[in-house]
């Protein structure tokens, strides 16, 4: 099945700089954080929340690739952006409750902020063309 490519606006020459690539790498980090929180900290509620929102970013970006229209495409990116903001909330909460260290928080927060900026920029650019 070939999807209509609405994601041309997000393509760059270096795959490792794409929002799709970065969101997947971030999702892997979130899954590992979830495992750590469950195994080491015996925390199961907040960890499930951050697992859902942190992995949903990339899932919505992937889903946007098969959008039925440009409006659908940008809607999926907005959902990814909202999930990114939710993930930042859970990261703050995990830091403030001392489930993760400041160092762990800083690294994850930096990656999440980078995704947020990329998604924010993409949605603004695409919306201006609609």
Q: 96-123 pLDDT, tens per residue?
A: 999 999 999 999 999 999 999 999 999 9
pTM: 0.88
The sign of the torsion formed by the CA atoms of 108, 109, 110, 113 equals positive
Maximum separation of any 2 CA atoms in the chain, in Å: 48
Percent of the chain with pLDDT over 70: 88
Q: 70-80 pLDDT, tens per residue?
A: 999 999 999 99
Q: 25-52 pLDDT, tens per residue?
A: 999 999 999 999 999 999 999 999 999 9
Q: Give pLDDT, residue 16.
A: 73
Cα 106 to the center of its chain, rounded Å: 16
Cβ atoms of 60 and 84 closer than 8 Å: no
Q: Give pLDDT, residue 3.
A: 60
């Amino acid at each position: 099945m070939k999807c209509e490519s609405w994601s041309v606006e997000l393509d760059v020459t270096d795959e490792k700089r794409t929002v799709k690539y970065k969101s997947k790498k971030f999702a892997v980090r979130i899954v590992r954080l979830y495992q750590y929180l469950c195994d080491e900290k015996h925390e199961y509620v907040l960890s499930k929340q951050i697992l859902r929102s942190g992995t949903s970013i990339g899932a919505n970006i992937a889903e946007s690739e098969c959008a039925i229209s440009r409006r659908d495409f940008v809607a999926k990116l907005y959902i990814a952006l909202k999930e990114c903001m939710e993930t930042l909330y859970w990261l703050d909460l995990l830091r403030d409750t001392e489930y993760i260290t400041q160092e762990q928080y800083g690294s994850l927060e930096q990656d999440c902020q980078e995704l947020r900026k990329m998604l924010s920029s993409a949605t603004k650019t695409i919306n201006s063309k609609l």
